[in-house]
Structure 1
Amino acid sequence: MSAVIDTTATRNAAATLVGGRSPLATGAADRAIAFDARGDISLGRFQREVRAVAASLPDAPCAINLCEDRYRFLVAFCAAAVRGQVTLLPSSRAAAVVDEVLAGHPGSYCLGDHPLVPQPPHYHCLPSQLPQAAGEALTIDSDALVAIGFTSGSTGQPSANRKYWRSLQASTVQNLAALADLLDRDGSTHVVATVPPQHMYGMEMSVLLPLLGPVAVHGARPFFPDDVARALGEANSPPLLVTTPVHLRALVQSGVALPPLAGIVSATAPLTAELAAAAEARYGCEVREVFGSTETCVIARRRTAVETAWTPLPGVRVVPQPDGAAVHAAHLDTPVVLADLVEVSADGRFELRGRNADLLEIAGKRASLGDLTRKLLAVPGVDDGVVLQLDACDGPGVRRIAAVAVAPGLDAETILAALRKQVDPVFLPRRLRCVDRLPRNETGKLPRHAVLALLDG
């Protein structure tokens, strides 16, 4: 399955102007870059608003973009880039996380689209009516540092990853090629995303795609199934839904009807084949899962309902290593090593075999936390859950295994009794706590510190 498709959109996305500067956005001034219930927003209007907002921003090296409205996030991100400011993308918009990132980048400020209580320090709020200013087409230095993305901390402490405009352009070319057969070949594809633009997956699929490809993005970030259906219904052609397994499961279980879709894209957490197949059957379109990380951006794709192997995007090569996998890609200056263990076939496709940190070895036996979590979720009545290894040891050098489950009507003993039928006794959770919900973040991930706090609470 080849994803190498040469299109005008991908060529435009990679364009670099004389003097080492690249266009901020590609396409004709009248093409749609965003839409909502009121209709399309043109690229020309967008550029006028970016110019005016850029002129109003305070002088600073960096900004944390907290805009809730996706279109305003897009304007604010580009305005900061035009001013030479780096957009900081914390793993969460929680006040403590924002304060920590601000402390690590002195002189920075927060940028938002409505009043916040409590108000973050050095807060700049966009006006309700965005100003406009005429001028020449906007460009950015190709080597400019435009963003720093922070990992979610699901396996430990968040880390910072620097993103340059040229690398984001190159990765967008790959994403456009990977999604080409889901996009409208003769016009603009409308995209509705449930993932926040502050997340790297949301940035790639709902900020960079409309900037550099034939895509218009909905200004909202719908959360509940009815809201998702309403936003999709505001597109003037079959839209592409960009979502996560958590949101997709809620949609399927809700029974809410959706308009005809161009396709569904999922990421941020493993998507089960069962959920992918159920969504394809209900909505009559392909569910395409993409694989990547904050460090690498999207690097591979698969149709999860019918295949387990991942197809690398154009220019991407995955090489197994003892401690994980090295990712070689055109948009990466140097190979990036991920903790994922992979098995690569002769054609370059690969399958995930767990994460290095997830592997367990107790009493000469081996298992993985990912597989144990899948078995927990397979217990009838368990709606959500996770298995993890604690820092404390139980015996010489053996770290305890614990679990948290959302299972209305079940207790811990009932769940453990079901697990005993599938799990070797040495890998049974020594602690299992039932809770009303898991502390998932906006993309459905579970920060380790939040799960540990839930266990101790």
Structure 2
Amino acid sequence: MKPAIPCNGPEVAALLTRALDPAQEFVDGGTTLGSVHGMAAWLRRQFADDLERQTLCLATDNRDLIAAALLSSLAGGPIVLLPYSFSAQALSGLHQATGCRHALVDPEQPPPPGMEPIRPLGEGGGTAAPLPAIYPDEELLRLYTGGTTGAPQLWSKTGTNLFGEALFLAAHFAVSSSDRIVATISPAHIYGLLYSVLLPLVSGASVVPGIPSFPEEIVRCVRERKATVLVSVPPHYRVLRGKGCLGDALRLAFSSAGMLDVTDNNAFSLANRCGIVEIYGSTETGGIALRNRSCGERGFTPYSTIDWQIHNQRLQIRSPYLSPSLPLDAAGGYLANDWVEADGATAFQLRGRTDSVIKVGGKRVDLEEVKAAIKYMQGVSDCLVLALPDRGSREHRIVALVEGPFVEIEDIRTLLMTRFEPYALPGAIKTIDRLPVTDNGKVDREAVLKLFMP
């Protein structure tokens, strides 16, 4: 592979030195860019006397505070810790695992146990105060994700990883100060962080406050605020079906954090003047590729900043957005956890995850194949197929949770028996009105596990 196109270090550095209109709104109808930079400078000064670089837990989903913390970290301030949940248990676990002594919190919000609260609101004075020299290649952020196994995982990100990707997105999609962003996903998720904090920060766009999640909330927010950009997830696009046009101002819609159903995509595209841009990537890799099926794109086209090839049916990439925590080969390449197939010379199609294949009784079962068979039954909106540890055994038991309350479980079993060997059949099948999901649009694994507990 050729080397990936590097991020422009001076361009990242210019974030703290470029001419800035302090009156430009970062939060629509609220905090200005000047105030964000002022808070960042104030926050940087709080840690100026520390001989060793500290860490700062983000116990808030306020985008202006998060933006200030990231700018401060970019300037050599504390490394930002982003928990996978704001629950007391998750924050307490983060403190115990990292020894973090400070937490950025909202006014009047109690700090997490064992941490000293930092509340910079109002300290910026609305002035874009100067920040010291920045360090784009130093560690900026540590993200804690829930992980598919339920065990938290830690991923590091540098300033170049995060701000470099945001700069690419701003240029590629021509996002500017005339744009207004509505995001239905928390900025505590890497996708929400990139598109509703970093993207407006580097482009001058404003982000609408709050995180609407119910369909009526989303529709009202986009229409009333005359949003030009919608940042959402597949479960939210599903509930928007039948809600009509979201407004003539909307020109971009993004989807990530899971595969978007083609029916949901088509319904949205027919009702609105823009299609949905699907983003393929992960917390650890950053964004990798995109597609817009309303433009006839079947496959995903990698970002121009990424070098890629298909190796043994898997995607191998070299990217400036890869977490330093990832295991790379000698040439700096990373082998992604998905089976792919070339779609012409410039794109690829996803064919399932490598970790979806398990062994039952020594025989291979592809959970994605079982899921696909169920999902395309009449009356099924979505489904989840998992392999759960079987108590008292080293084997796994396969279970299926089906979104389709009027589908008969026996009909599902009958279909699967015609397609798969007995060892590949789910031992337990349950139907539900809606798959349980977290605020970030991911399947709520804990809630799913409770449904199958004996």
Q: 1:281 — aligned with what?
A: 270
Match 1:167 to one of 156, 161, 164: 161
Matches within 5 A, 1:81-230: 81-82=74-75, 84-116=77-109, 119-124=112-117, 126=119, 129=122, 131-132=124-125, 134=127, 136-138=129-131, 140-155=134-149, 157-180=151-174, 183=175, 187-230=177-220
Look up the SS of the partner of 1:452 in the other structure: helix
Deviation of 1:367 (Å): 5.7
Partner AA of 1:147 in structure 2: L
Q: Deviations over 1:397-443 (max 9, x none)?
A: 86432112343345533443454466555432111133565442222
1:117 and 1:16 map into 2 onto residues whose CA distance is 39
Is 2:389–2:395's contact at 8 Å kept on the other side of the alignment? Answer: no
1:393 and 1:96 map into 2 onto residues whose CA distance is 26
1:200 and 1:35 map into 2 onto residues whose CA distance is 19
Is 1:152–1:445's contact at 8 Å kept on the other side of the alignment? Answer: no
Q: 1:44 — aligned with what?
A: 34
Partner AA of 1:88 in structure 2: L
Change (3 A) 1:214 1:371: farther
Do residues 245 (structure 1) and 234 (structure 2) align? yes
1:393 and 1:217 map into 2 onto residues whose CA distance is 48
TM-score, length-normalised on structure 1?
A: 0.82
In terms of mean alpha carbon deviation, does 323-332 or 99-108 score higher?
323-332
Is 1:16–1:22's contact at 8 Å kept on the other side of the alignment? Answer: yes
Q: 1:7 — aligned with what?
A: none
1:116 and 1:420 map into 2 onto residues whose CA distance is 54
Is 1:110–1:121's contact at 8 Å kept on the other side of the alignment? Answer: no
Q: 1:3 — aligned with what?
A: none
Q: 2:283 — aligned with what?
A: 294
Change (3 A) 1:318 1:359: farther
Deviation of 1:75 (Å): 3.0
Q: Deviations over 1:194-247 (max 9, x none)?
A: 1111111111111111121242222221111222233323545x5110110011
Q: 1:6 — aligned with what?
A: none
1:168 and 1:344 map into 2 onto residues whose CA distance is 28
Q: 2:21 — aligned with what?
A: 29
Q: 2:3 — aligned with what?
A: none
Unaligned segments of structure 1, at least 5 residues: 1-10
Deviation of 1:391 (Å): 2.9
Deviation of 1:171 (Å): 1.9
1:140 and 1:400 map into 2 onto residues whose CA distance is 51
Do residues 62 (structure 1) and 55 (structure 2) align? yes
Is 2:389–2:396's contact at 8 Å kept on the other side of the alignment? Answer: yes
2:367 and 2:41 map into 1 onto residues whose CA distance is 49
In terms of mean alpha carbon deviation, does 73-82 or 147-156 score higher?
73-82
Look up the SS of the partner of 2:449 in the other structure: helix
Deviation of 1:61 (Å): 1.5
Look up the SS of the partner of 2:197 in the other structure: helix
Change (3 A) 1:130 1:304: farther
1:214 and 1:117 map into 2 onto residues whose CA distance is 32
2:292 and 2:59 map into 1 onto residues whose CA distance is 33
TM-score, length-normalised on structure 2?
A: 0.82
Q: 1:259 — aligned with what?
A: 247
Is 2:36–2:67's contact at 8 Å kept on the other side of the alignment? Answer: no
2:123 and 2:412 map into 1 onto residues whose CA distance is 54
Deviation of 1:365 (Å): 8.3
1:169 and 1:119 map into 2 onto residues whose CA distance is 28
Look up the SS of the partner of 1:35 in the other structure: coil
Q: 1:5 — aligned with what?
A: none
Match 1:403 to one of 383, 400, 405: 400
2:111 and 2:68 map into 1 onto residues whose CA distance is 24
2:416 and 2:435 map into 1 onto residues whose CA distance is 20
Aligned residue pair count: 436
In terms of mean alpha carbon deviation, does 338-347 or 278-287 score higher?
338-347
1:290 and 1:49 map into 2 onto residues whose CA distance is 31
Q: 2:355 — aligned with what?
A: 357
Q: 1:78 — aligned with what?
A: 71
1:337 and 1:33 map into 2 onto residues whose CA distance is 40
Do residues 319 (structure 1) and 309 (structure 2) align? yes
In terms of mean alpha carbon deviation, does 258-267 or 407-416 score higher?
407-416
Q: 1:4 — aligned with what?
A: none
2:356 and 2:15 map into 1 onto residues whose CA distance is 42
Match 1:386 to one of 384, 387, 407: 384
Tell me how large the CA RMSD over aligned residues is.
3.5
Change (3 A) 1:117 1:212: closer
Moved over 6 A (4+): 57-60, 361-366
Change (3 A) 1:167 1:431: same
Partner AA of 1:369 in structure 2: L
Partner AA of 2:220 in structure 1: R
Look up the SS of the partner of 1:434 in the other structure: strand
Q: Deviations over 1:263-313 (max 9, x none)?
A: 210000011222111111112212100111111111100013433311000
Unaligned segments of structure 2, at least 5 residues: 1-5, 325-331
